[in-house]
Amino acid sequence: MTPDGQTLTALRGDVIELCAGFLVADVSGHGVPAALIPSMIKIAAQSVVALANDPSELLRRLRNVLSAQLRGQFVSVAYLWIESEARTARYSAAGHPPLLFWRAASHSLERIESNGLLYGVPFDSDYPVHEIRFDTGDRFLLYTDGLSEPENAAGEAFGDYKLEQILRANPSRPAAELSLLLLSEVRAWQPASTPQQDDITFLLIDVL
């Protein structure tokens, strides 16, 4: 993983090994203090890029770098490291919604929770790692709670259940189309007069 999240390629003989790290963070609250933190996270991530293949240590070191700068703000973080040749992924998180993982071969969806404490909580925390074996056709969804928390007119949250329904119903839909579908379903769930209260961020990753 490079500091801006791009994929690294390493040539080994006639084999190209692709590795990539994906980090999603969500800052609590609104206003100027909360708006400044994403820039801090981006800068801090550059200082821990050497740990890209170790999700637990990367999250621990990132927390240490940011701890003095959060000043009462809380941040949830999820990090996924993928090694394409080994067909292995490693996932860890800090107080973040679960990773959703679609297994194409078994047509099954898994909720993977591997959480330590939120950043900003004044306690040390370990960040357990969940290792995932994947194959062609599998799919990962990393998201913030802005995707699952919007409410309809009855006050019902869109919820992880609706996300899971959409993923199960569209296993072969291309990632770009599914991304647009997710957004349109969330917008349709909310009353037209209701403003979007929280930022929506998600990463949909397909294994080709």
Q: Give the whole-angstrom CA distance, residue 151 versus residue 162.
A: 12
Q: Give the whole-angstrom CA distance, residue 160 versus residue 170.
A: 16
Determine the pLDDT at residue 66: 93
Q: Are the CB atoms for 5 and 23 separated by under 8 Å?
A: yes
Q: Is the pLDDT of residue 197 over 80?
A: no
CA-nearest of 134, 92, 132, 131 to 113 is 92
Residue with tokens 């790692």: 129
Determine the pLDDT at residue 32: 60
Q: Are the CB atoms for 175 and 198 separated by under 8 Å?
A: no
Q: Which segment, 9-13, 20-24, 71-75, is predicted with the most confidence on average? A: 20-24
CA 92 to chain centre: 10
Neighbours of 193 (CB within 10 A): 6
CATH node for 8-206: 3.60.40.10
Task: State pLDDT tens for residues 156-188.
Answer: 999 988 999 999 999 999 999 999 999 999 999
**Those residues with Cβ within 8 angstroms of residue 184's Cβ, 6 or more apart along the chain or in another chain:** none
**Those residues with Cβ within 8 angstroms of residue 24's Cβ, 6 or more apart along the chain or in another chain:** 77, 78, 79, 96, 142, 143, 144, 201, 202, 203
* Beta strands per DSSP E along 95-194: 99-103, 108-112, 115-116, 130-133, 139-143
Task: State pLDDT tens for residues 117-150.
Answer: 999 998 889 999 999 999 999 999 999 999 999 9
Element (H, E) at 93: strand 88-94
Q: Which two tokens stand for residue 9?
A: 């390629």
Determine the pLDDT at residue 194: 74
Domain ranges across the chain: 8-206
CA-nearest of 64, 1, 71 to 33 is 71
pLDDT band for 2, please (50, 70, 90 cuts).
Answer: very low
Task: State pLDDT tens for residues 72-125.
Answer: 889 999 999 999 999 999 999 999 999 999 999 999 999 999 999 999 998 889
